[in-house]
Structure 1
Amino acid sequence: MRHKNRFRKLGRTSAHRKALLKNLAISLIEHEKIETGVFKAKELQSYVEKLVSVARKGDFNAHRHVFAYLQNKQATHKLVTELAPKYATRKGGYTRIHRSAIRKGDASVLAFIAFV
């Protein structure tokens, strides 16, 4: 049983999981909407919303904190200067998940995750 287990392991090692979330977050920031598996989307939602909360400050330390997680200058710049200021008055819920389809190959549920 998974009592008190706080996150999904997604069938990956910790380094692989960290890289997966980083790459999904970069794609979401660049395109503002991506389609992925529903469980990956749910994990990505908490990952990105924490970054947006930090990026809302817009100062140098926010840039450093976000860059430490993303390791991508363009995505960091876009998040801190363009996306995060839109949510200055919002207290949370920066992303939305919509279930979209069932993948034909393995019958996995797909979902769109997008910024609100």
Structure 2
Amino acid sequence: MRHGKKVNHLGRKTAHRKAMLANMACSLIEHKRINTTVAKAKALKQFVEPLVTKSKEDTTHNRRIVMSRLRQKEAVAELFRDVAPKVGDRPGGYTRIIKLGNRLG
């Protein structure tokens, strides 16, 4: 049974996983798309979607919440300045996962 096992640990300790997701989210916000594994993409989707929802309302409180998760001032500024107005009318589902096929090697 997998009761209560909501988080995919991705083979990492908690601090490493949180740092990795924060860095991947900053890259996603900066470059608008990234290449990664499907498992990491699904974990990143759960990480980023609430942040984009918070960024739709530009308040000091929301900026501080997002900053505590992302840890990069430039990414937070771009999220509130550029990304939020583009997706402001959507009720969710801001990211897409597109499978690219097998990796080389």
TM-score by length of 2: 0.94
Shift of 1:3: 3.3
| 2-structure distance, mates of 1:87, 1:5 | 31
The CA distance in 2 between the partners of 1:83 and 1:64, in whole Å, is 17
Residue 42 of structure 2 is matched in structure 1 by 42
- Aligned partner of 1:8 in structure 2 is 8
Counterpart position of 2:70: 70
Percent same amino acid among aligned pairs?
46
Tell me the distance in 2 between the aligned counterparts of 1:26 and 1:81. 14
Unaligned runs of 5+ residues in structure 2 are: none
Structure 2 residue aligned with 1:32: 32
On the 8 A contact 1:62/1:80 being kept in 2, the answer is no
User: Structure 1 runs of 4+ off > 6 angstroms?
Assistant: none
Equivalent residue, structure 2, for 1:54 = 54
Q: How many residues align?
A: 105
Task: Provide the rounded CA distance (Å) in 2 between the counterparts of 1:11 and 1:34.
Answer: 20
Per the alignment, residue 112 of structure 1 pairs with: none
Residue correspondence of structure 1 range 74-93 to structure 2 within 5 A? 74-93=74-93
C-alpha separation between the residues in 2 aligned to 1:14 and 1:83? Answer: 28
Query: Alignment RMSD, CA only?
Result: 1.1
SS at match of 2:96: strand
Q: Alpha-carbon deviation of 1:2?
A: 2.9
**Equivalent residue number for residue 99 of structure 1:** 99
One-letter code aligned to 2:36: T
CA distance in 1, matches of 2:74, 2:2: 38
Higher helix share: 2
Structure with the higher fraction of residues in strand conformation: 1
**How does the TM-score come out when normalised to structure 1?**
0.86
SS at 1:23 equivalent? helix
Greater Cα offset, 96-105 or 11-20? 96-105
